[in-house]
Amino acid sequence: MHPLPEPASLPSLLLSSGGWRPEWGRTQAGGMSQPSGMGPPWNQERSPEGRLPTEPGGRWSTVRGVLIAGLLFSVLLGFSVLLVYVFRSCGPSPCRTPACWDLLARYLASGNTSVAPCTDFFSFACGKAKGTDYSFQALAKENTDRLRKILETPDSWHLGSGEEKAFQFYKSCMDTGAIEAAGAAPLKHVIEELGGWRISGNWTSLDFNRTLSLLMSQYGYFPFFRAYLQPRPTPPYTPIIQIVREYLAYLYQLGTLLGGDPTKVQEHAFLSISITSQLFHFVKPLEQRRAQGKLFHMVTIDQLQEMAPAIDWLSCLQATFTPMSLSPSQLLMVHDLEYLKNMSQLVEEQLSKHRDFLQSHMILGLVRTLSPALDSKFQEAHRSLIQKLGELTERPAMPARPRWMKCVEETGAFFEPTLAALFVREAFSPSTRSAAMELFTAIKDALLSRLRRIPWMDEKTRKEAQNRVTQLQVKMGAPEWVLEPSLARQEYKDIQLGPNYLQSFLSCVRSLRARIVQSFLPSFLYHRWQVSPWGVNAYYSISDHVVVFPAGLLQPPFFHPGYPRAVNFGAAGSIMAHELLHIFHQLLLPRGCPACDTRALQGALLCLKRHYAAIPLPSGTSFNESQTFLENAADVGGLAIALQAYSKRLLWHRGETVLPNLDLSPQQLFFRSYAQAMCREPDTQEPHDPHSPPTLRVHGPLSNTPAFARHFHCPRGALMNPSSRCQLW
C-alpha cells in the first residue's frame, strides 16, 4: 500500500472565500510609502498670505488635526476600494455565456446539494439524474437529434453526389406509405433470386454453397457463422478473417406473411428452430473456452476445409471479401473451432435428408434480418419475437423507437463519410478542434511528467513508455479523408437507389461491405475508425498506435471552448488521460513487465483492488472486479493526470472562470465535472461492461485523490477521505 503524495499545493494566491489574492496586495494594504522629497502639504513652506491665523487655546491645532484625520481616512478608503477591485479582478469570475448558463442548468437539474459531498459525492453530483438524461447516452441522443435536423433540412448539393444520395435514402426510409404499399413484394423478389422455397410451392434447388455465398456477399447475412475483418491481436496486426457462430431465432408469422401454405410453414419453421437449437448446443460458453485456453485458433482456409468440409470456404469467403485476393493458405482466426466442425456435420446431414428444409432455414433467417426494411406487419412480428424472448430471459422489454431514429442510424451507417463531414461542419468548428488539441497536449505533457515518478517502473521501461507517448498519433473530430470535399462527390457510385426501399437498403449493404474491405487493403493509408465521428466513445488502437476522440464526444456538457477550464479538464481531460493510459494496460497484466519492480506493482494493484472493495454499492448492484480492474486503473490514473495538468494550467494562466450561482471553487468544479461525466442510474450495469458501476467510477478515483478531500474539507475517515490511498500511476 503506497500513500499517494499530495499534489504540489498552489501558492497562497488562492483563498477559499475570496478567490485569487496576490501576496503583494497584503503588504501594500498595510501602509503606503511616501515618494522621496515630498512631505505632508501642511509642513511645506508657505507665503505669509497663505498662512492661517492661530487662535488662542489651540483651536487651530484641533482643526488641523481633524483635517488631517479626514484626509487620511479618505485616502485609506479609496485605496481599500482599489484593492478590493484588484483582488476581485484577479480571482475567478463567473462565466455568463449562453454555454455556461446551459451547463449550469444541467448541473442543477442532476445534482442533489442536500447530500454531503464527503459522504456520497455520486448523489451530490448525480442524485437527481434519471434514465440517461445526464450521461454519455444522453449526449449520443443529442448527436442523433442533430443528425436528424441535418437530414431534414438539407442544403444545396451536387447532383449525383454522396450528399444527395444520403438525403434521398433517408427520405425513402421515412416514406412509410410507399413501404406499406409495396408490402411483401420486394422480399418475394429477393427469395426468387435465391431459388425460392418449398413453403410457397415454387422452389428451384440451387447448390447449397452458391446460396450461402449469395447470402453472405449480396445480403450481408450469415446463417451458420459470422465472418468479418479485424486486425490481428498480436504484431504485425495484419488483417485476418474472424469466424464466430450466430444464434438464430424465427417466427411462424414470417412464412405466412410471404404467402406460404400454413401447414408447410409450420413444418418448416419447426425444423428450422430444431436446427437452431442443435447449433446452439454446439456452442461452448466463453468462460469455458477461456479456461481451456481456446478462445481462438489460427488455421488456414485449406485446414478449415478439411475440418468442416460442408462449406466451400474459399469461394464463400472470396465472394464476401472481394476485392481481397484470398488463397487456400489464407490465415483465419476461428472462434470455437469445435462449433464449426459440428455445424459442418449437421449441414451435411440436412443436405442428404432435408435439403428443402435447410433452404427454408436460411431464408427465414434472412427475412428476420431484413424485417426492419419491410412493412409494418414484418416489423410487428419481429417486435413480438423480441418481447417473447425478453419474457423468457426475464429481461425488461425495450421501448419502441421512433421511425426517424432508425432511419438516422441506417443513413449514418451507409453514408458515414458524408454525414461525418456535415456533422463536423456544424458541431466541431476549427476553433473547437484547436481548443481540444490544446487540452490534449496539456494532458499528454502531464502524463510524460508523471511517468518520470512511477515507482514500480524500471528505467528502461520508463523510457520506452515515454517514447510510446511521444510517438502516439491523435485523431480528433473525424477522419481526415472524409473532410475532403472532392470525396463527397465521388463516393457511393455503386449505390443504386430504388425502385423500392428494400432494394435501396440492399444496395447500401453491398456498398458498405465493399468499403469496409477496401479499408483493409494496403492502398488505404488512413487509420480505420472504429466509431462514427458523431459517436461518444473514445478509444486507443493498439495495432495503429492511435488514440481517437470523435467530434461527438467533444461536445457539451463534456467540452466547450467557452467553458471554465475546470470543466474541460475535469470531464474531457479525464477521458483523454484515461484513454492514454490504455497504452500501458499490458504492463499491468501478469508477467506483462518482467523488468519492473513486480512487488511494488502488485502491491499497488492489490491496494487498488481493496480500495474499490471497501466502497459501498447501492442495493442490488454488483460487478466483476477481475473484469473491470484495467478500467478502474485507467479511471484513477486519468483523474490524477487531468488534475495535475489543470493545476499547472492554473499556475501559469490567469483568467479562470467558474459557473455562476453554483458556489464551487475552480478545483471543486473540476471534481464536479469529472463526476458529471459518469452520471447514470446506479443499477444500469450491463453484464459484460468492462467498467465499474457508475457509483464506483465516481467514488473510486475521487476518494483516492487527496486534493478532493482538501478542497471539500472532508473529515478524516469519511468515505471520500479514507485513511490510506494507493499510488499506481
> Computed from CA positions of residues 630, 635, 640, 643, in that sequence, does the dihedral angle turn out positive or negative?
positive
pLDDT above 80 (res 654): no
Which has more pLDDT, 53 or 353? 353
Q: Which residues contact 479 (CB under 8 A, 6 or more apart)?
A: 417, 420, 526, 527, 529, 533
Domain that holds residue 256: 222-373
Q: Is residue 362 part of a domain?
A: yes
In a domain, 367, yes or no: yes
**Phi-psi domain of 172 (left: phi exceeds 0; alpha: psi -120 through 50; beta: other):** alpha
* pLDDT greater than 90 at residue 415: yes
**Active centre residues (catalytic):** 579, 635
pLDDT digits (tens, 9 = 90+) for 451-461: 999 999 999 99
The burial class, CB within 10 Å (0-12 / 13-18 / 19+), for 469 is middle
Burial class (CB within 10 angstroms; exposed 0-12, middle 13-18, buried 19+) of 594: exposed
Does the residue 666 lie in any domain? no
604/636 Cα distance (integer angstroms): 12
| Residue with more model confidence, 721 or 356 | 721
| Residue 354 confidence (pLDDT) | 84
Instruction: Check residue 17 and give its pLDDT.
Output: 32
* pLDDT at position 12: 29
> Any idea which of 244-258, 470-484, 518-532, 543-557 has the lowest mean pLDDT?
244-258
The CA distance from 35 to 299, in Å, is: 90
* pLDDT average, residue stretch 254-270: 72
Residue 51 has pLDDT above 70, yes or no: no
Q: What is the mean pLDDT of residues 566-573?
A: 97
pLDDT-based confidence at 15, cuts 50/70/90?
very low
What pLDDT band is residue 37 in, cutting at 50, 70 and 90? very low
Higher-confidence position of 416 and 69: 416
**224-249 CB burial, b ≥16 within 10 A, e <16:** bbebebebeeeeeeebbbbbbbeebb
The number of folded domains in the chain is: 1
Which pLDDT does position 394 carry in this prediction?
57
Predicted local confidence at residue 393, as pLDDT: 55
CA distance 93 to 637: 30
Q: Classify residue 329: in a domain, yes or no.
A: yes
Q: What pLDDT does residue 174 have?
A: 96
* Residue 638 pLDDT: 97
Question: Is residue 698 over pLDDT 90?
Answer: yes
Mean pLDDT of 526-534: 91
Instruction: Give the residue-averaged pLDDT of 289-316.
Output: 88
Is 229 part of any domain? yes
The angle formed by the CA atoms of residues 685, 687 and 688, to the nearest 5 degrees, is 110
pLDDT of residue 386: 66
Residue 647 lies in a domain: no
Residue pair 447/469 in contact (Cβ under 8 Å)? The answer is yes
Confidence category of residue 72, pLDDT binned at 50, 70, 90? low
Digit-coded pLDDT (tens) for 151-209: 998 766 666 678 889 999 999 999 999 999 999 899 888 988 888 887 776 777 678 99
pLDDT at position 69: 59
User: Residue 336 has what pLDDT?
Assistant: 86
What local confidence, expressed as pLDDT, does residue 276 receive?
81
pLDDT at 135 (0 to 100): 76
pLDDT of residue 341: 94
The pLDDT of residue 397: 62
Assigned domain for 165 exists: no
Model confidence at 620, pLDDT cuts 50, 70, 90, reads confident
pLDDT tens string 82-111: 433 443 445 789 999 999 999 999 999 889
Write down the pTM of the prediction. Answer: 0.80
Task: Tell whether the model's pLDDT for residue 624 goes beyond 80.
Answer: no
Checking if the pLDDT of 251 tops 90, the result is no
Residue 249 lies in a domain: yes
Confidence (pLDDT) at 49:
35
Q: Which helix (H) or strand (E) holds 125?
A: helix 121-126
Most confident of 263-272, 495-504, 700-709: 700-709
Domain of residue 250, CATH code: 1.10.1380.10
Q: What is the DSSP letter of 685?
A: -
